[in-house]
Chain A
Amino acid sequence: MTQPVTIIMIEDDEGHARLIERNIRRSGVNNEIVPFANGTDAVKYLFGADGSGLVQKGHALLILLDLNLPDMSGIDILRRIKENKYLKASPVVVLTTTDDSQEIKRCYELGCNVYITKPVNYENFANAIRQLGLFFSVIQVPAAAT
Chain B
Amino acid sequence: MAATPDLRRRRAFWQILLLAAGLLVLTVISAGSVYLVNKARDDNAAVIHTIEVENQVHALLLEIRRAESSASGFLLTRGPELWTDHQTAVAAILPHLERLAELTKDNPAQTENVRKLRPAVEARLDQFAREMNFIQQRDFASATALVREAAAGNTTGAIRDAADAMLREEQRLFTLRSANADSSQTLAASLTGIGSGLVVVLALVSIWLVRRSAQLRDEAEARLRDANVDLETTVDERTADLREANDEIQRFAYIVSHDLRSPLVNIMGFTSELEELRNDIFGRIASLTQVPAGGPPIAPGDGGETLEAQDKQLSQDFSEALGFIKSSIAKMDRLISAILNLTREGRRAFEPVRIDMRELMEAIAATVAHQAAEANAEIRIGELPDITSDRLALEQIFSNLIDNAVKYLRNDEAGKITVRGRTKLGYAIYEVADNGRGIDAKDHQRIFDLFRRAGTQDKPGQGIGLAHVRALVRRLGGTMSVSSELNQGSTFTITLPINWNASKRTRDR
Interface residues in chain A, defined as those with a beta carbon under 8 Å from any beta carbon in chain B: 13, 15-16, 19, 22, 68, 97-98, 100, 118-123, 125-126
Contacts and interface: CB of A to CB of B under 8 A. Distances in A.
A94 to B, nearest CB: 15
A98 B258 contact: yes
A123 B265 CA distance: 11
Interface string B108-130: 00000000000000000000000
Nearest to B332: A120
B301 interface: no
Contacts of A97: 258, 261-262, 265
Interface stretch (B270-278, B408-416, B444-452, B476-484): B270-278
B268 interface: yes
B269 A19 contact: yes
Contacts of B273: 19, 22
7 nearest CB pairs, A to B: A15-B266, A122-B272, A19-B269, A120-B268, A97-B261, A120-B333, A122-B268
10 contacts: A13-B265, A15-B263, A16-B269, A19-B273, A119-B265, A120-B268, A120-B329, A122-B268, A123-B272, A126-B272
A124 to B, nearest CB: 11
Contact of B266 (A19, A22, A100, A119): A19
B264 interface: yes
A98 B344 CA distance: 12
A119 to B, nearest CB: 8
Given A97-B258, A120-B329, A120-B330, A19 B264 contact: no
Interface residues of B, number: 17
Contact of B344 (A22, A100, A119, A120): A100
B442 to A, nearest CB: 35
A146 to B, nearest CB: 41
Determine the main DSSP class of B at the interface with A: helix
A120 B270 contact: no
Given A120-B333, A121-B268, A123-B272, A16 B344 contact: no
Interface centre among B264, B271, B273, B330 (most CB of A within 10 A): B273
A13 B344 contact: no
Contact of A122 (B261, B263, B271, B344): B271
A119 B344 CA distance: 18
B332 to A, nearest CB: 8
A125 B263 CA distance: 15
B200 to A, nearest CB: 81
Contacts of A100: 344
Nearest to B271: A122
A119 B272 CA distance: 13
B262 A68 contact: yes
A16 B272 contact: no
Given A15-B269, A19-B269, A120-B333, 20 more contacts: A13-B265, A13-B266, A15-B265, A15-B266, A15-B270, A16-B265, A16-B266, A19-B265, A19-B266, A19-B273, A68-B258, A97-B258, A97-B261, A97-B265, A98-B258, A118-B261, A119-B265, A120-B265, A120-B268, A120-B330
A19 B270 contact: yes
Interface string B326-345: 00011001000000000010
Contacts of A122: 268-269, 271-272
Contacts of B268: 120-122
A33 B101 CA distance: 158
Contact of B265 (A22, A98, A118): A118
A26 B273 CA distance: 11
B324 to A, nearest CB: 15
A101 to B, nearest CB: 9
A123 B266 CA distance: 13
Contacts of A121: 268, 330, 333
Interface string B129-146: 000000000000000000
Contacts of B261: 97, 118, 120
Contacts of B265: 13, 15-16, 19, 97, 118-120, 125
